[in-house]
């Protein structure tokens, strides 16, 4: 889907000066191309303004001069809200249309499985009763989907994967902009999910599609049951997560991260490779790799144990 910039700005009640360029999507300042919109709402990304290649940017007037001359400034004091309204232009059109998938050899597909359009299945794929596989989904060789798995449009599932019953891959991330009156406006989630090879996903897990770009579950990762992976997360290779782990949006995990049951992260942080977070640990800031952490907020486990011991002595000595 491509729109003239003037078509979008007319709907958003915005004016602009410059070329009426063709727009085919939305992305971050860093990743946007000359045919995409972007937005600026957070001063910590100010260094990215002069380097952006975005065709146009929703931006407050006081920062507009920092944009390159090739980028159209869309002046607004509600940049995030305008982004939300603009995202609807590029949303996937949901229909019940279907066509026959491209099947590899030796696939075993239950007759109750529902496919969207333009699905591609590799060799030896097994899909059990009650599954839904949406538009433009790719499922790799030797992958098994247990009953009632749902895979939303545009998702890519690698080879030798197992997805257990009730899991949902590619559902919308939890993204809303807010009006001055306190109404919540949906930001359409126009990215996708990529699950790499040899991943196992437990029962009743949810993996959200990206706002734009991709949510990644990297090769060899194993998820227990009842896990929530939010939009734009990047879970490193061979990571392990026990039941009820929750990752907030844009969390980035290195390889071989281990997270105990009911542990969780705040959004937009990084956990280094070979890190362990103990059960119920709450990660509120980025963590160095190769260490063990516990508690809320999560700290190195040796310090946490000392704190618990001191607290216990204080209680006993009262």
Let me know: does 194 contact 201? Beta carbons within 8 Å: no
Please give the CATH number for the structural domain made up of 3-90.
Answer: 3.40.1390.10
Element (H, E) at 200: strand 200-201
Cα-Cα-Cα-Cα torsion 132, 137, 143, 144, nearest 10 degrees, comes to -10
3-state secondary structure of 235: strand
**Domain range annotation of the chain:** 3-90, 108-302
- CATH number of 108-302, picked from 3.40.1190.20, 3.90.78.10, 2.160.10.10, 3.90.209.20: 2.160.10.10
Q: Which residue of the set 164, 178, 231, 268 is catalytic?
A: 231
Compute the distance between CA of residue 146 and CA of residue 276 in angstroms, rounded to an integer.
Answer: 29
Residue pLDDT, tens place only, 194-223? 999 999 999 999 999 999 999 999 999 999
Compute the distance between CA of residue 1 and CA of residue 94 in angstroms, rounded to an integer.
Answer: 14
Q: Name the pairing type of β-strands 292-294 and 299-300.
A: antiparallel
Which residue carries 């009156």 as its tokens? Answer: 181
Q: Is 231 in the active site?
A: yes
Per-residue pLDDT tens, the chain, 318 aa: give them. Answer: 899 999 999 999 999 999 999 999 999 999 999 999 999 999 989 999 999 999 999 999 999 999 999 999 999 999 999 999 999 999 999 999 999 999 999 999 999 999 999 999 999 999 999 999 999 999 999 999 999 999 999 999 999 999 999 999 999 999 999 999 999 999 999 999 999 999 999 999 999 999 999 999 999 999 999 999 999 999 999 999 999 999 999 999 999 999 999 999 999 999 999 999 999 999 999 999 999 999 999 999 999 999 999 888 888 877
Q: What is the pTM of this model?
A: 0.95
Q: How would you label 179-191 residue by residue, b for 16+ Cβ within 10 Å and e otherwise?
A: eeeeeebebbbbb
The alpha helices in 257-300, defined as continuous H runs, are none
Compute the distance between CA of residue 20 and CA of residue 48 in angstroms, rounded to an integer.
Answer: 23
CB atoms within 10 A of CB 273: 16
Let me know: does 230 contact 245? Beta carbons within 8 Å: no
């Amino acid at each position: 889907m491509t729109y003239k910039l003037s078509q979008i700005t007319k709907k958003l009640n915005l004016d602009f000066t410059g070329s009426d360029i063709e727009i085919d999507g939305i992305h971050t300042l860093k990743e946007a191309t000359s045919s995409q919109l972007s937005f600026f709402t957070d001063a910590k990304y100010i260094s990215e303004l002069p380097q952006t290649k975005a065709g146009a940017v929703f931006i407050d007037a006081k920062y507009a001069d920092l944009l390159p001359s090739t980028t159209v400034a869309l002046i607004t004091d509600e940049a995030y809200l305008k982004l939300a309204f603009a995202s609807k232009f590029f949303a996937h059109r949901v229909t019940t249309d279907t066509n026959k998938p491209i099947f590899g050899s030796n696939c075993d597909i239950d007759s109750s499985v529902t496919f969207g359009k333009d699905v591609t299945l590799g060799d030896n794929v097994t899909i059990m009763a009650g599954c839904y596989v949406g538009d433009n989904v790719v499922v790799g060789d030797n992958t098994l989907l247990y009953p009632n798995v749902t895979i939303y449009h545009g998702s890519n599932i690698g080879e030798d994967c197992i997805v257990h019953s009730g899991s949902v891959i590619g559902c919308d991330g939890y993204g809303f902009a807010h009006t001055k009156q306190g109404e919540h406006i949906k930001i359409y989630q126009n990215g996708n999910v990529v699950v790499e090879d040899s991943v196992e996903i437990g029962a009743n897990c949810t993996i959200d599609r990206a706002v734009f770009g991709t949510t990644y579950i990297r090769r060899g990762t194993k998820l227990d049951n009842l896990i929530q992976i939010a939009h734009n997360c990047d879970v490193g290779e061979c990571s392990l997560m026990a039941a009820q782990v929750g990752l907030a949006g844009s969390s980035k995990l290195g390889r071989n991260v281990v997270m105990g049951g009911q542990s969780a992260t705040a959004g937009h942080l990084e956990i280094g490779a070979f890190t362990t977070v103990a059960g119920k640990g709450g990660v509120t800031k980025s963590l160095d790799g190769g260490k063990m952490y516990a508690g809320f907020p999560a700290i190195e486990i040796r310090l946490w144990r000392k704190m618990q011991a001191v607290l216990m002595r204080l209680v006993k000595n009262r």
